[in-house]
Structure 1
Amino acid sequence: MRLSQDAKLLLSTLIVIVAAVAASWVALGKARHFILKKEGRYTAVHWAQYLENNLRGLDGLLSAGLITNEDRMTFDFATATGNVLNYQILDERGAVAFSSWSGDFRLSIPTDHVQAAIRNDKSYTELIEYEGGESRPRLVAEAYVPIESTAGYKGAVNVKIDLTERAVELERRSMFAFLGLLGFVTLISTFCGALVWRNIRNRQWAEDLQNSRSVVLEQLATGMPLKQVLLTLVQSVERLKPDTVCSILLLDESGTRFKDGVSPSLPEFFRNSINGVQIGHGVGSCGTAAYTRELVIVSDVLTHPYWAGIRDLVARTGLRACWSLPVISSDDEVLGTIALYYREPREPTDAELEFFRTISHLVGIAVEQRRFQARIAHLAHYDTLTGLPNRRKLQARLQQYVSEARIANGTMALAILDIDKFKTINDTYGHPVGDSVIREAARRIAACVREDDIVGRLGGDELAIVFRKVSDVREIAEVSDRIAEAVRLPMYIDGKSIATSSSIGVSCFPQHASDSDELFIKADHALYQAKQSGRATCEIYDEELHELIREKQILERDAALGIQKDEFSLVYQPQIDLKSGALIGLEALARWEHPVLGQVPPNKFIPIAETSPIIIELGERLLRQACTQAARWRQGGLTNVKIAVNVAARQFKDPLFVEKIKNILEQTDLKPCALELEITETMLIDDFDVVEKTLGELNALGTSVSIDDFGTGYSSLLYLSKLPFQNLKIDRSFVHNLPSDSNSVAIVTSIIAMARQLNLSVIAEGIETCEQAEFLRMNECVGGQGYLFAQPMDALQLETWLRDDFVNTFHGRLGAMNGQMEAARVASLKHSELRSA
């Protein structure tokens, strides 16, 4: 079984403690033994000296073994005055010359050792324990001490000394010393154990906190509701610190009141009292923290002035301490507060404050991430100018209402509306006024419809109304009349009185269409008929509009023939680096020269082609034409410029699409890195696995991919983070109102920031003014294209533009943004004139 790191640490500490105690005990025993031997030797030496000084017959004793009675009395006196039990006199050979007791006496050490001790004048001492009838064994020290008579005779004294009482005393002292040492070791081990336990506890806290962080981030990634994420965080805090009651409060849209509290352990009556409270200095711990943007520590809520207004209420909760910390976003905005409550007065430690700040940071991440996602989701489904549902949202709701009507055998309708002569308003008063007209018209139209009806913006000045239930056509007529009258009233904008009108086209389910797509088509036909009828009117779809459908069918047929007759060609619009002014790309745009109709507008034939199988052949021909021209330009020295080609959904779904790209690149001798394919967002949601596979193959080939018209389709962060794109193109509808429109500014800056985080390059379409270009450049948009730089041109026109007009057209306008490059150009011209003169 493998032990954990903590278990190993505890086991090692225990082993060290036991070893230290055992070693101490052994050391004390050896010290006691050493002391006893030393004291026995010391007593024997002194006794031997006494004998040397007092035995007159010592010479005879050592030489002939003679001793007198007087000498014996001296011996007896010596043994009676000390702890000497008995003694022996040894001659120089180690033989016993005299013994104080009768009977055989065996030396404890060999005779040759005694002889060596006598010769070398050394003493030997041994401790001998005798078992007896006493309660305690008798401890005796047997010492051999060399002696020498006055006549020069040598010998030794073997003395037995009783050390039992001394041993008991030393043992008692040793025990006291051991107990003291044991207490000291216990104290040290307790301290070390506390450090070990604290280390284990801190590591467990860190691990649990990291696990909680991972759970929160996983819940955020999987789209878990914010309240559930915050609840998980609160429960983690209360699990890590069981004596803590945690509470999270968020601020409302105004940033002045609390809402959406997550505090499951607080009593319901207390939670209800906090909800909706306005923040301010002295408004409890949380209200003060949110207002002052600082940590607020209240060690006792029953005595602190911040809690004076609700002291009785908080007393009912049993809580005494409250620490509150503001949750602040990366944009330095206060999002709410997190509070820790305790049931006894106390202040936080440094470790608790660090833990508190970590949890607050996690709360900030969760709230900010959800707000960002909500903002992106809102931008994806709602129009930024009017706040109405956008085309995608409207289509989803229309499909829902069609399904409901089909199940109930009921009727519903769709109306498409646009503002008459809106282009004239834009041209006369400017785009900001035009935007205000759209906002005001949308407000008036929304006020005219019924409660169940939905108003949305399709784009530009075109809006739509979904009638959820229609019992009679007269209901639609009544609503249409109210709308017409409301829009007809003058609009006072920026001190100007602007008059306009509206045209409306209506189609009904199931009378005119069998599904939502057909409803859109036929409502659009009806709108066209309303405009043809002189505008400011409402037309309901009629079969007579079939001619318009037939016209489109004819165009589709003519387009198929035009492909075979090479009636389609390409023009190229430059893409400019907004910082350096370098040409970084060319977008290839399709044009159709009809033999009878002349130039057919792209917005007329491209939607028809994209819904038809002919788009595959047309797309392949145009792609080959673009690659051929790009290869020719690269051979002529235009090596750092990519050619961007739009790809329709049908093309992209073609199983042979990547193989066709590869063949065209090989046949035209164009490097894959010189080609960029532009696809729309709506392609991403059809079949994610197929899209991911195709994009992966294109990336492996070396061809880059760009998302065209970004922001108008299904902007999913999941797709952007997982699919291999290289570029985003901001749709011209967002660029159009820059930099005056705050909504457009918010969208564009969000897109650029998001792209930067995803390492994507950004190009803005439809740049028409220097102010737009400067705004995009200052916000780190990489590139741009639009009429500010150049309009689409055929190959020859583009080559002329590059040769003659590029510097004057672009660099001059770029310089006009800050005045520097324009001044330099003027100075250069004046210098040339002076030189000519």
Structure 2
Amino acid sequence: MQNTELQLYKSTEILGDFIIILSSDGIIVHSSQNWKKYCQKHQTENALWEVGENYFNSLEKSNNFNELQCLKDVLTGVEEEKFQLSLFYTQEKIDYLSVHYQQFLFTNNSKGIILHKQLVTNKPATPSLDTEVILENMTDAFFLLDDQMKFYFLNSESEKVFQCKKEDMIGRTLWNCFPAAVGTEFYSKCNHAMEKRVTVQFKEFYAPLNNWFNVKASPVRDGGLAVYFQKNNSDYNIEAERQKIPYTDYLTNWPTRTKFEEELEKILYEKKTFSLFYINLDNFKYINTLYNHRTGDEIIKSIAKNLEKLLDQKDLVGRLDGDELVFLHLHRGDENIIHFAEKVRELFTHPIVLEDLRSITVNASIGVYSYLQGSYSVENLISFSETAMRAAKKQNGSSCCFFQPSMRVDLNRRLVIEKSLSGNVKELGFYFVVQPQINCDTGELVGVEVLSRWNHPTLGPISPIEFITIAEETGTISNLTNCLLKDVFSFINCTKNQGDIFPKTAINVTASLLSSKTFFKELFLLMEQNQISSEQIEIEITESVELTYSEITLANLITCQSKGISIALDDFGTGFSMLSYLMDYPIDKIKLDKSFVSKIGQDEKSEAVLKSLIQFVKGVGCTLLAEGVETQEESLFLQANGCPIHQGYFHDKPLLPKDFLTKYIGVSNQKKGE
């Protein structure tokens, strides 16, 4: 071996970084000791680090064609050097490595390539300053999606291409950020990559950004996608493509948003009177999660056909987004528009029969704006009907609301909350309280429930029901919950310094997070980083929310239970699904809803039902807790009938962390009041 190569190999050890040197045909001729140790620690295949192995073949076997192409571009001189962020899968997590590829000439004049890898971060959503510098130099734009198609990382090049800030996109779905992509090849290809877990590569024109893109989407092991893309306008006529902007939705054959707005503009010019209906399918994302996107598509088509049967040929229809449909119904003589709206609502009370004979009932929230006269724009009219739709969402089941001017105040309030949720909620008054859970037989503090609160700087106190619902709808619930978890875990740890054992802590998890693989990985990682024992944590699922059986949810809960995290069913008895929940999911604890407790001493029949529920819970082997206990009479009745663990104002109100520490920690294993 020549001295030049020997000096190079020695210098790689001095640097201490991850270095690999390849020949032109991909054979590893040298790898640094640190790279070998890293690979051996994580039990990777030898072909990634052992001298004599073919690195190219390893990339092909793992379908890592993006890195393979980078290597070939540098080897062939297409590019002198290249930067890339590479995902490296370990047994426990995903590591992110920055990779610098540079051509190298051996002393015999044969070409080789040097791969210089650096471990940059394992928290892609919040990259370090060093990471930002590396990402700024990357030639490809890329982003990472979780298994719900939500952004959890974008690099700087993506921000430039998308012409937006990553803070405005993290936590939102791809289709929510780019509704015009729904129905395009980008939509079908990315869904195909997600569902089939295969890599797809294609070219696509995206009209809102006025660009052609080379796109590559590859599955990652956490269930999501890594998407790489580059502008490519050199071979295409942009103006010709703009003329081909789709005016017809591929699924329903209804006009797209662009076409619908153009036609609505014409009707406004003709000064006709009409009612504009805005329909949103409730919890439609769960159908795509529980079944697949084809089932979702079939449901959309069926709903569109059913609506067409109600409408006249002169009425205008349109599909705005994946689960949002609109139509304009022209007023006819003395027609009662309220009766017509009721017919529309009734369509959603009947199950939809699919091609495989399965039947699915889909609820809808329907907003209506009746236009008689005025100088409103198309945007105003759609906004009014959408505002009415959001009011309908507050009601149970399929419901319909007509726009009222007072709703504008609600809309402005919602917009403020949405914007705040996408920022630093902690700086905007988001905090938590804890409510003690007491064993009345012993007087011991046996647990606490964490309750989120928000005292907004401009809106004042916001109800958890309101801001959690909006967070669910806007895809920011994961960020909100993670913010809460970090504060709660920090709070738990502050008691360790005093030598106290913090009681079991119950944390509410929403339906969308229960079916998210990404959320639970983040939860386990946060617990590990904060050294939180699994036995200290309890996951609460609420019976009153719509939680349909899902294998993903079941797997997540089983994983929690296997780690020692207990599962509690909150608000038990308020819904029709309590028995199916007990059969479908691994439940450890049941919390009796306060509506039963409040009837104690007032209604003998309700007391009899409560006694039966207590015996039932004992029979299925679950721990029982009564919530909403507010009087001594209620507490004594429950205790006498076999339910001694209580939570409620009779024992204590929800407390700020500092007040809880003062009152309870130090007596956590002693009788209350001693």
What TM-score bracket applies, with the shorter chain setting the length?
0.3 to 0.5
| Structure with the larger helix share | 1
| Alignment TM-score, normalising by the size of structure 1 | 0.34
- RCO higher in 1 or 2 (8 Å CA, sep ≥ 6)? 2
TM-score, normalised on structure 2?
0.41
Larger Rg: 1
